[in-house]
Amino acid sequence: MDKETLQAYTRRVTQANRSELIVILYELILKDLEEAKQLEEENSEYNKVLDHACKCVNELINALNFEYELSFQLMRLYRYVNECIAKNKVKKNLILIDSAVNTIQGLCTSFAEVAKQDMTGPVMRNTEQVYAGLTYSRGTLNESRLMNAGETRGFQA
């Protein structure tokens, strides 16, 4: 992942609520699986990308709340995706990646709709505010960060 993409995801995470964080994890998994399809199986980056996708799926599993029946169904889907990725590391079969991509894409679409209806605030508090707009340059989008004077950002004790 290049530096600009990483910054964009970091910015989204700082401003996201719970539902949006799940959508971001789905997008990261899809990005990793698409990147793996483009890499050669013998490439050292291939296994790194698939390992990162597995870590993201494990984060989704850890986020499940088993007080709801839906969590058990999601757990089965996440285990299936992890299994497809693990088998792909051994068998090097792109059909397994395609199957995982189809599963995650369906979930991502559904959770994106849920995230649109979720009006809770961002999970992270005490972060800098980012404003985007067209200023001082023709045709490009500039972002500026509003630093609160006298306040610290990040974790508070």
Q: Does pLDDT of 102 surpass 90?
A: yes
Query: In the structure, what pLDDT confidence band is assigned to residue 149 with cuts at 50, 70 and 90?
Result: very low
Of 15-29, 39-53, 133-147, least confident by mean pLDDT is 133-147
Residue 126 has a pLDDT of 57
- Separation between Cα atoms, residue 31 and residue 25, nearest integer Å: 10
C-alpha torsion sign, points 135, 137, 141, 146? negative
What are the tens digits of pLDDT across the range 18-46?
Answer: 888 888 899 999 999 999 888 876 677 88
State the chain's mean pLDDT as an integer: 80
Burial of 118 (0-12, 13-18, 19+ CB in 10 A): middle
What are the tens digits of pLDDT across the range 56-89?
Answer: 999 999 999 999 999 999 999 999 999 999 998 8
3-class secondary structure per residue, the chain: CCHHHHHHHHHHHHHCCHHHHHHHHHHHHHHHHHHHHHCCCCCHHHHHHHHHHHHHHHHHHHCCCCCCHHHHHHHHHHHHHHHHHHHHHHHCCHHHHHHHHHHHHHHHHHHHHHHHHCCCCCCCCCCCEEEEECCCCCCCCEEEEECCCCCCCCCCC
